[in-house]
Amino acid sequence: MQLATERNGNGAKVRTIRKIHRLTASFLSVVLVIVAVSGLLLGWKKNSNGYLHPVSHTGTTTDLSQWLPLDSLNAIAIRALHETGRKGLSEELDRIDIRPDKGMVKFVFERHYHGIQLDGATGRVLYVENRRSDMVEDIHDMSIVDRILGFDGEIFKLIYTTFTGLSLLVFAVTGVWLRYLPRNGRKNGSGDTR
């Protein structure tokens, strides 16, 4: 009688652990496909012939003393952004990437996936970037949801990465439990044999 009760108790425990394992597996299967595809694209971004990651173009001089002031270059970049049919986009900058070795300065915008490469000395537009690799990075860590919904502080990214990390941990622990503990239970005459 006591043996049957132990078997039923262990069987219920194993079924509960299997259910938790399957639920986390369902969530993680979607997450891992997103992470795998975006990670693959990010690994190849610099070998995509400029499709994912913009190629850095070369300006006329590497002598910084001949370059225009940054505020003048910034004004040119914003004008170029609007002149290329991208009107209505935010002018807020994410960063200014100065490449003295290439004679080029790159203005990358905060609220959208565009950048402008300028000749540091002349201000000539060298290239208007579609920064697809930045979008792939945002998909990879799900900060794209924060961007779309306008959340500051990457709230969704934090929740998503925490939940994903905890799910991976639960999945690993329940997997080990299901792999090793039922066998030990069978040896003792108890446990679920399914």
Q: What is the pLDDT of residues 2-57, one digit of tens each?
A: 444 445 567 788 888 889 988 888 889 999 999 999 999 999 999 999 899 999 99
Of the ranges 27-36, 85-94, 97-106, 131-140, which one carries the lowest mean pLDDT score?
A: 85-94
Q: How far apart are CA 137 and CA 154, in angstroms?
A: 14
Q: What is the pLDDT of residue 190?
A: 45
Does 86 share its domain with 41? Answer: no
Dig out the tokens for 32 from the structure.
Answer: 């891992």
DSSP 48: S
Give 51's contacts (C-beta < 8 A, 6+ positions apart): 132
Instruction: Please report whether residue 194 resides in a domain.
Output: no
pLDDT of amino acid 3: 41
Evaluate whether 120 touches 59 at the Cβ level (below 8 Å): yes
Last residue of a domain, one of 89, 104, 130: 130
- Is 65 exposed, middle or buried, given 0-12, 13-18 or 19+ CB atoms closer than 10 A? exposed
Q: Considering the domain boundaries, does residue 84 fall inside one?
A: yes
Check residue 182 and give its pLDDT: 60
Picking from 38-42, 54-58, 67-71, 90-94, which range would have the lowest pLDDT averaged per residue? Answer: 90-94
Residue 173, both tokens: 């622990």
Residue 193 lies in a domain: no
Domain boundaries, position 126: 55-130
- Per-residue model confidence as pLDDT tens digits over 117-161: 999 999 999 999 989 999 999 999 999 999 889 888 889 999 999
Placement of tokens 């990390």 in the chain: 165
Whether residues 38 and 63 share a domain: the answer is: no
At residue 87, φ and ψ (nearest 5 deg) are: -70, 150
Domain total of the chain: 2
Give mean pLDDT, residues 64-84. 92
Evaluate whether residue 151 is within a structural domain. yes
Report the alpha-carbon distance of residue 143 to residue 135 in Å, rounded: 9
User: Three-class SS of residue 86?
Assistant: coil
